[in-house]
């Protein structure tokens, strides 16, 4: 089964038609459409709604190990060269309000361009910022990912985004959004087909020795559960992009402090180091 999470009706309707999905009346809190291989949920706008709807769907479904989940939708772009209608597979998610980063893994071969995305709590305009990173922008990705990661390994979570505007306050109609999706429908179907044919084995990018280093450093620094998840996500991102080992993390154990505040600074140094690697 492939689960698809969309925010807007304009994003969902072309998929419902292309995959011949029918409304599932057993769901009462959100609109859900399905066929034998796909279930699509319409969440509404924002990372909180996306997280709630994703949790609602997956709690009812209890996904199997071979299942996958896809967040599909439109996004803004601060990069003017990215034309409206261009589609990207997301390789890094940053949450603007929390500062957290997440790294979806893509273990199958594909020809889709990849890009980072920054999730905001509300609509943003480029002119309201003195400086703005060259990045894609949306309002759902981080909430979706955090909810999905409770049920799926990171290599089974995918995000596919279509550029709809350039953060100039453009008003987007439902028909305009449907048109953008419709022009990309064959590429979307190809990605869904690719993910469904990928290996059903849940093989992580991390080896046993990587987990041993991670556990040793986490225990030495007395990292919280939340901090552990953040470091583990960053390690996976580093391994995917560099393929290198993580022996260098052992040096941070030697920097452990006798106080919680001191160890938090060491944790932040680890995060900075891994994010630097992942952004290279």
Query: Distance of alpha carbon 227 from its chain centroid, rounded?
Result: 18
Which of 213, 241, 240 lies closest to 228, judged by CA?
213
Helix-, strand-, coil-residue percentages of the chain, each rounded to 5: 45, 20, 40
Please count the other Cβ atoms lying within 10 Å of the Cβ belonging to residue 214: 18
- Measured distance CA(103)–CA(245) in Å, rounded: 17
- pLDDT tens digits, 108-117: 678 889 999 9
**Per-residue pLDDT tens for 37-79?**
999 999 999 999 999 999 999 999 888 888 999 999 999 999 9
Domain ranges of the chain: 2-197, 208-279
Q: What's this model's pTM, rounded to 2 decimal places?
A: 0.76
- Distance separating alpha carbons of residues 279 and 159, to the nearest angstrom: 18
Which of these, 204, 229, 230, 228, lies nearest to 217 by C-alpha position? 228
Per CATH, is 2-197 categorized as 3.40.50.150? no
Provide the token pair at 62.
């209890």
What Å distances lie between residue 202 and 52, 72, 154, 235, CA to CA?
Answer: 25, 23, 10, 17
- Quick check: 201 pLDDT over 60? no
């Amino acid at each position: 089964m492939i689960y698809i999470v969309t925010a807007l009706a304009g994003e969902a309707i072309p998929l419902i038609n292309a995959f011949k999905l029918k409304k599932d009346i057993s769901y009462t809190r959100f609109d859900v459409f399905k066929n034998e291989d796909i279930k699509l949920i319409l969440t509404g706008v924002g990372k909180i709604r996306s997280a709630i709807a994703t949790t609602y769907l997956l709690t009812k479904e209890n996904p199997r190990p071979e299942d996958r989940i896809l967040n599909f939708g439109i996004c803004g772009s601060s990069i003017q060269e990215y034309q409206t209608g261009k589609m990207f597979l997301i390789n890094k998610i940053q949450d603007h309000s929390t500062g957290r980063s997440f790294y979806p893994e893509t273990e199958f071969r594909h020809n889709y361009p990849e890009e980072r995305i920054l999730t905001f709590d509300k609509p943003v305009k480029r002119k309201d910022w003195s400086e703005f990173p060259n990045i894609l922008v949306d309002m759902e990705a981080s909430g979706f990912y955090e909810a999905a990661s409770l049920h799926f390994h990171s290599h089974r979570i995918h995000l596919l985004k279509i550029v709809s505007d350039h953060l100039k306050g453009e008003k987007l109609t439902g028909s305009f959004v449907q048109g953008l999706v419709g022009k990309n429908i064959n590429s979307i179907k190809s990605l869904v087909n690719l993910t469904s044919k990928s290996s059903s084995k849940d093989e992580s990018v991390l080896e046993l020795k990587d987990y041993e280093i991670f556990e040793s450093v986490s225990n030495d620094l007395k990292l919280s559960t939340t901090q552990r998840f953040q470091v583990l996500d960053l390690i996976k991102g580093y391994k995917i992009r560099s393929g290198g080992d993580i022996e260098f993390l052992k040096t941070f154990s030697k920097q452990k402090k006798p106080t919680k505040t001191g160890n938090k600074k060491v944790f932040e140094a680890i995060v900075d180091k891994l994010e630097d690697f992942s952004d290279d």
